[in-house]
Homo-oligomer: A and B are copies of this chain.
Amino acid sequence: MKYSDFSVEQLEQRLGVLQDNYARIKDAGLNLDITRGKPSAEQLDLSNGIDGILEGFFLLQDGTDVRNYGGILGIPEARQLGADILSLQPSEVLVGGNSSLSLMYNMIAHMIGAWEEESRQSNSKVKFLCLVPGFDRHFTICEHFDIEMINVGFLTDGPDLDTIEVMLERDPMIKGIWCVPKYSNPTGHTYNTAAVKRFAQLGKIAGPNFRIMWDDAYTVHHLTDTPDELHNLMQEARAAGTQDSVVMFASTSKVTFAGAGIAFLGTSMDNLKAFEKFLSAQVIGFDKVNQLRHVRFLKDTSNLAAHMEKHRHLLGPKFDLVQTKLEANLGKRGIAKWTKPRGGYFVSLDTMPGIANEVVRLAADAGVKLTPAGATYPYGLDSDNKNIRIAPTFASLDKLGQALDVFVVCLELAAINKLLST
């Protein structure tokens, strides 16, 4: 039965039980953290073989010594791997250091001059569309560069492209859009083929300096036997002549080592040439030794897929546990909805409006750290105060279970308090 159908008396009775539970939990002095999408130690162990894999061989097929300076675009073997992952040509791929975020940041830094020039001429701020809920670190980059962010929501099957198209037609100072097109952070959406095709047309509406920041962070991070397929945006864009509007990103942060992987940027060859020139003022080349380690370790996409299966075996039970715990405790209460992701790193949960903050506060007081409510929205502002991102990957199964037990009590408590106060 839904809590909204409870009588006041029933709610008060339930509240009493929950308050007792909550007091007991607080006494237990827990210290749990399900805030960030970090791989667990067991997942990291899967890649321990990467250190030392070179066995003293540092030369590439073309004779390049990866230990020495140079080569901003990355070693050919790693560009090929990135191309295979992103379904691009190697000539469209740059391989960076350990951070795709840094490549995104630099792409914005590279474009901001042209955008600000347009801004001065039109006397209108540079703006970005942000699909919400989304990835906080994307939004932080916009804040850093003083780019105004405009929220766009998801429909059941993906981004609200009608709204996106209308907005781009209305405001030529919208210069980009942040996307996580596959197993989206945090909603789990994979954009369907029709949506991808419409994305390829956006550059025609928005003009030459518009950039789709296509952060394909979870492209090989499946949680099912039947992986989602993401249609090839660049292929569509090439056909539409909008390839300059496409900038793709991926990394091995959740494939090998989260802090010591390699990152990929894919875009048109013209864009890449200009971006390489931009980067040349700040770096002579990224870490080619680590690029070679990754190529030797991951080999090719089929070996990569086998490697990701091992991750899935570790992650599957955790995501299952989230579903079990949420369903058992909240399934019939009508106070929350959540996603059942087919890949990626998160479960996105919407509480009844107006209580996400309170749930996070209650959990924190009981020793369970959750991602701050609002973090999945630009400027940290979730106007409905309802979205909570659950990151089940890092904690052990045991601790995850404990954290979820606390979480559901906090959620029920906040919901009943809200229902009783209105």
Chain A interface (Cβ < 8 Å from any Cβ of B): 36, 38-39, 41, 44, 47-48, 51-56, 58, 65-71, 97-99, 101-102, 105-106, 109, 137, 140-141, 143-144, 253, 257-260, 280-290, 293
Closest to A69 in B: B258
A66→B260 contact, CB < 8 A: yes
Point out the residue from B41, B51, B102, B286 that lies within 8 Å of A283, measured CB to CB: B102
> In the bound complex, what is the Cα–Cα distance between A114 and B54 (angstroms)?
45
> In the bound complex, what is the Cα–Cα distance between A145 and B141 (angstroms)?
19
> In the bound complex, what is the Cα–Cα distance between A102 and B97 (angstroms)?
12
Interface centre among A55, A259, A284, A289 (most CB of B within 10 A): A259
Mostly, the A contact residues are loop
Q: How far, in Å, is A165 (CB) from chain B's closest CB?
A: 29
Q: How far, in Å, is A76 (CB) from chain B's closest CB?
A: 15
Known A68-B259, A69-B36, A290-B260: A55·B52 in contact at CB below 8 Å: yes
Q: A68-B257, A259-B287 are in contact. List 12 more A-B contacts (CB 8 A).
A: A41-B68, A44-B65, A47-B67, A48-B58, A70-B259, A97-B287, A102-B282, A106-B282, A259-B285, A259-B288, A260-B287, A260-B289
A257→B105 contact, CB < 8 A: no
In the complex, which residues of chain B have a beta carbon less than 8 angstroms from the beta carbon of A106?
282
Closest to A104 in B: B282
In the complex, which residues of chain B have a beta carbon less than 8 angstroms from the beta carbon of A65?
41, 44
Point out the residue from B38, B66, B141 that lies within 8 Å of A281, measured CB to CB: B141
Q: How far, in Å, is A411 (CB) from chain B's closest CB?
A: 27
Q: How far, in Å, is A14 (CB) from chain B's closest CB?
A: 39
> In the bound complex, what is the Cα–Cα distance between A282 and B105 (angstroms)?
5
Point out the residue from B58, B69, B257, B280 that lies within 8 Å of A67, measured CB to CB: B257
In the complex, which residues of chain B have a beta carbon less than 8 angstroms from the beta carbon of A47?
67
In the complex, which residues of chain B have a beta carbon less than 8 angstroms from the beta carbon of A288?
259-260
> In the bound complex, what is the Cα–Cα distance between A56 and B36 (angstroms)?
25
A281→B105 contact, CB < 8 A: yes
**Interchain residue pairs with CB less than 8 A apart (15):** A41-B68, A44-B58, A51-B54, A51-B56, A52-B53, A52-B55, A67-B258, A68-B259, A69-B253, A97-B287, A99-B283, A102-B282, A105-B283, A144-B282, A260-B287
